[in-house]
Structure 1
Amino acid sequence: MRQPPANRIAPDAIKAWKIAEAIVAGVFWLITIALFILTFIFEFSYWYGAGAALISGLCTYLFVFLLPKLRWRRWRYEVFEQEIYIQHGILIVSRTLVPMIRVQHVDTKQGPILKNYKLASVEISTAATTHEIPALLEEDASDLRDRISALARVDEDDV
């Protein structure tokens, strides 16, 4: 069996993912508050609000505090001359090999949360799908994009 890839994504990915998930959790909490207001206005049972608060609290704990750390521990990647090896997943670990000969183009992307931490993601597009290596340092993402692009071009010339 092959060894796991050696390279990890940036540790600040945990902070960025926590912020993104906190925004989603905030929406759940707003819905919970709205449900409590509706139960007060229409005199519904308070169990609906209590259930929504329990679900919101559980989702907040899981998605904001627990899963980003586990997600970061599992994310690894490595670029070889002939392929890109990506490993990710929490319960089900997915190991993907992307042959360089199949790479059509490589992009970097950066949203406002990643930009705040000087991070960027690398997207590797093939004819079938797109693979992403998330939350690398901006300089590392740019270097990786250029390296994959150069390796993919060399493979196309050989064929």
Structure 2
Amino acid sequence: MRQPPVNRIAPDAIKAWKIAAAIAEGVIWLITIALFVLTFIFEFSYWYTAGAVLISVITTVLFVFILPKLHWKRWRYEVFEQEIYIQHGILIVSRTLVPMIRVQHVDTKQGPILKKYSLASVEISTAATTHEIPALLEEDASELRDRISALARVDEDDV
């Protein structure tokens, strides 16, 4: 069996993922609060509110405090001359090999949360799908994009 890739994504990815998860959990908490208010107005059973609070607490702990660090520990990648090796996943570990000859174009993308931590993601597009290496330092993402682009070029003699 092949050795796992050696390169990791930036440690600040944990902070960025925690912020993104906290925003999503904020929506869950707003729904929980709305259910709590509706319980008083329409005199629903308090079991609905208790269940919603329990679910909100569990998902907040899981998605904001536990999963981002596990996600970061499992994300690895490596770029070879002939292929890109990507490994990720917590319970189900996915190992993907992307042949350089199949790469059509490479992009970097950066949302507001990644920008706050000077991070960017690299998207590798093939005819079939798009693969992403998330949350690299901006400089590393640019260098990786350029390196993959250079390795993916095919001379007319090779076709």
Shorter-normalised TM range: over 0.9
* Residue 73, structure 1, aligned to residue 104, structure 2: no
Partner of 1:9: 9
TM superposition shift of 1:155: 6.4
- Runs of 4+ more than 2 Å apart: 154-159
Matches within 5 A, 1:129-144: 129-144=129-144
Question: Cα 1:125–1:155, aligned 2, differ >3 Å: closer, same or farther?
Answer: farther
Q: In 2, are the aligned partners of 1:101 and 1:156 still within 8 Å (CA)? A: no
Aligned residues: 159
**Structure 2: tracts of 5 or more residues without a match:** none
Look up the match of 1:96.
96
Gap runs ≥5 in structure 1 = none
Distance between the aligned counterparts of 2:156 and 2:124, measured in 1?
Answer: 16
1:51-130 counterparts in 2 under 5 A? 51-130=51-130
Which deviates more, 32-41 or 147-156? 147-156
Q: Cα RMSD between the aligned structures?
A: 1.0
- TM-score, normalisation: structure 2: 0.98
Identity %: 89
Code of the aligned partner of 2:61: Y
Q: Distance in 1 between matches of 2:134 and 2:25?
A: 21
Structure 1 contact 101–155 (Cα < 8 Å) conserved: no
Residues 15 and 95 of structure 1, relative CA distance in 2, 3 Å threshold: same
